[in-house]
Amino acid sequence: MCGIAGYIGKNQAAPIILDGLSRLEYRGYDSAGIAVFDGERIRMAKAAGRLSVLKELTDNGRALPGCCGIGHTRWATHGRPCDENAHPHMNRENTIAVVHNGIIENYRKLREKLERKGYVFSSETDTEVLAHMLTEYYRGDPVEAIEKVLHRVEGSYALGILFLDHPHHIYAARRDSPLVVGVSGEEKFIASDVPALLEHTRTVYYMENEEIATLSAGNIRFYSLDGELLSKKPVTVEWDISAAQKGGYAHFMLKEIHEQPSALRDTIFPRLKDRRIDLDDLGLSEEKIRRLRRISIVACGSAYHAAVVGKYVLEALARIPVETDLASEYRYRCPICEPDSLVIIVSQSGETADSLAALRDAKARGSRILAIVNVVGSSIAREADCVFYTGAGPEISVATTKAYSCQLAAFYMLAAEFARVRGAIGADRFCGLLAALKRLPAQVRELLGCQEKIQFLANRYLAADHIFFMGRGIDYAISLEGSLKLKEISYIHSEAYAAGELKHGTISLIEEQTPVVAVATSDRLYPKTLSNIVEVKTRGAMVLALTTPGHEDLARTADYVLFVPETEPLFMGSLSIIPLQLFAYYVSLGRGLDVDKPRNLAKSVTVE
Ligand code: G6P
């Protein structure tokens, strides 16, 4: 959601900024803009639509010469997507330019005040108030003006600012929206996310909340909102540039689906030690694990679906009561946080606004917070008491695949270790789980071999208007994710149902040729799910079923059957999700859609 890129150095800024913005496209946006200091004035270009429109408008940046600039991709919140509302926003005198990610919540009040003072607005955005407020408070010292403005705004922001009076500087600030500063000798960068910088540097400073940065070719300084000079250490990012490139794949999504075996290996293997799962870095002593009385798992989107799997696995193995919540609901429902309970926040980006707010709410109620996060140094990772990092590496496609898979693996490991420590399972069972964990990456690799068959099947569903997914237990949790994957990138209406619940409403929607995807991998629940498949078949549904070897009889009922290899039943979701990810990918591809950047969606949802 909204991307910021800025550059100062010896090279032309605009092409570097446009390139940085293109690496942030995955965040989701609907307009883009750029401002560059050309030696005399700040020149700006902005346009609704894809970045290609802005690139054309600026002759790939060549029309905006200069070595210092800022750029932005906007995901509309306040004001529709159009040229005027695109960032940067400038003051009337064209001496201050601002790009902003986040929401200024008290912008109406601020705007009215400014209008009373004679400021004229040219957009409907909340951001424009910042350009005029900076004008109001600027007396020659940009940092002082920024401090004064930020003390008066409510809400979230990551900011990049240019002042004409200080032409060889970029000013930056953040609160609750991510911003990183990159350094490569005399060249300095700002960006919403690390992939925008990887081409140039792996040395970054993560900006903390309520920090201001000044960047010039010579140096970088960080200040608190009270003007105090701060000392910060740079961090070397482990990800390399190839991780943020397509590497020969047609889409990031396909590449990331294929990266799952290595992502799983990187998540699982470092924790397997001497017949135990090493959770020492989480600071959860065996005593604390034994005392746990309840776990709440809170997340959004696919991370929430991983949480639903987590609930089944944790309850089954560790015998601890688990509740799951959507972060947007949890944060407003006055949850009960008892002593000896643990709140687990799951998030790929570590920046999702609702998940972060839920974390803060739970923390304020005295809960201990464990975060399962992919992005190192992200807000959720920093604010949690302890972090289980997933090893997915950068995920660019809006539709998550490898990060979700790694979240499942994180839950398996937590559940198995909690179960061992609490004595809920014996040594043999624990060893069996470890062995199953070790086998998972290779099994996923094997499954990826069914790609062509899935493409063939997916092509039969291209014209569908509605699709229903169903399953029981973990198969239901996987159906939720399979259905979301499909709807977000194919724009086909899709719903997932607990198979036993179909009869309570949804079955009335089943008619001749209604497509149904049935997940039936659980031996224990197979006869029950089979009955539900028969029920929809009887009403004319066209059924694609997923099952495990041994259930060949399903071919007599379903129209198409896909077999996934067997594993530990509680870990089956890691295998059954693979064909469903590929199915969604090929349906989207077959419908000619933008697989990696589906309409209206953002990778990192940093607003409520
Ligand atoms: C967006 C993404 C989803 C993701 C969700 C939660 O909606 O498109 O793929 O599951 O946010 O994001 P998080 O970064 O917290 O996992």
Q: How do residues 572-607 score in pLDDT, each as one tens digit? A: 999 999 999 999 999 999 999 999 888 888 777 777
Distance 399 CA to ligand 1 centre (A): 8
pLDDT in tens, 329-387: 998 888 888 888 999 999 999 999 999 999 999 999 999 999 999 998 888 999 999 99
CATH code: domain 3-243 is 3.60.20.10
- Other Cβ atoms closer than 10 A to 287: 8
* Type of residue at 596: D
Mean pLDDT of 88-104: 95
CA of 385 to the centre of ligand 1 (A): 21
d(CA 28, CA 73): 8
In this structure, the number of other CB atoms found within 10 A of the CB of residue 246 comes to 14
Task: For residues 100-125, give the mean pLDDT.
Answer: 94
Whole-angstrom Cα distance, residue 377 to residue 453? Answer: 40
| Number of Cβ within a 10 Å radius of residue 170 | 26
Contacts of 242 (CB under 8 A, 6+ apart): none
pLDDT exceeds cutoff 80 at 27: no
Task: Please list, in sequence order, all residues whose beta carbon lies within 8 angstroms of the beta carbon of residue 463, skipping any fewer than 6 positions away.
Answer: none
Angle of helix 427-447 relative to helix 402-421, nearest 10 degrees, comes to: 170
- Sign, CA dihedral 202-203-207-212, equals negative
Is 389 in contact with 375 (CB distance < 8 Å)? Answer: no
- CATH architecture assignment, domain 246-447: 3-Layer(aba) Sandwich (3.40)
CATH topology match: 3-243 vs 449-595: no
pLDDT at 514: 92
| The Cα angle at residue 407 between residues 402 and 411, in degrees rounded to 5 | 150
Closest residue (by CA) to atom 1 of ligand 1? 603
Q: State the Rg of the chain over Cα.
A: 25
Q: Is the bond preceding 88 in cis, omega lying within 30 degrees of 0?
A: yes
**Tokens 């999702």 -> residue:** 352
- Quick check: is 438 catalytic? no
CATH 3.40.50.300 for the 449-595 domain, yes or no = no
| Band (507; pLDDT cuts 50, 70, 90) | confident
Measured from the CA of 488, which atom of ligand 1 is nearest?
Answer: 8
Residue keyed to tokens 């839950």 = 411
Answer yes or no: are the C-beta atoms of 297 and 309 closer than 8 Å.
Answer: no
Catalytic residue among 46, 485, 597, 603: 603
Residues in the chain, overall count: 608
The answer, yes or no, to whether residue 92 has pLDDT greater than 90, is yes
603 is catalytic: yes
Over residues 196-234, the pLDDT tens digits come to: 888 899 999 999 889 999 999 889 999 999 999 999 999
The domain spans of the chain are 3-243, 246-447, 449-595
Q: What is the mean pLDDT of the chain?
A: 93
Provide the whole-model pTM.
0.83
Residue 497's pLDDT is what? 93
Alpha carbon distance 202, 214 (integer Å):
19
What residue ranges line ligand 1, CB within 6 angstroms?
A: 300-303, 347-349, 352, 355, 398, 400, 601, 603-605
Ligand 1 nearest atom to the CA of residue 400, by list position: 9
